[in-house]
Amino acid sequence: MIKILIINGPNLNMLGLREINQYGKISYDDLCNLIKTHSKNKVQIEFYQSNIEGEIVSRVQEIIDQDIDALIVNPGAYTHTSIAIRDALAILNIPKIEVHLSDINSRENFRKTNLITDLCELSIIGKGANGYIEAIEYLYEKN
């Protein structure tokens, strides 16, 4: 069974409370439970969420010494600003899938800058919670 780490960035812990027109009413706990329920017989899932850039960088770096087979990452707003997270992701030699709940390409102009997409083998954008499920299915089928 493959082990997938899902890293979520800032404000994802506020799902269901923020910008419901963009992110929907699903809470972060509901999102995690949906993913766990879908994945329980297919893959092993670990979740990590932080609002702090350096903590995300440290968690990405820790993957090097752990038994993690793939990474699903939603850096949130750091997608558009964090060279540090990009540099950490570049170190990893495991499959990396980028997921964004909203369609960042059709939102504000500053969200169109994406510093990680070229480091990921697949980008799933604008599919809400189903984007995570699609990423898991992709990784499951690949292995």
- Spatial contact of 139 and 4, defined as CB atoms under 8 Å apart: yes
23 noted as active-site residue: yes
Question: Among 80, 100, 138, 140, which one carries the catalytic annotation?
Answer: 100
78 noted as active-site residue: no
Question: Which strands form 96-100's sheet, in the order they lie side by side?
Answer: 44-49, 3-8, 70-74, 96-100, 122-125
Question: Among 23, 48, 80, 140, which one carries the catalytic annotation?
Answer: 23
Instruction: Please say whether the dihedral angle defined by the alpha carbons of residues 54, 16, 104 and 123, taken in this order, is positive or negative.
Output: positive
Largest CA distance in the chain: 40
Active site residues: 23, 100
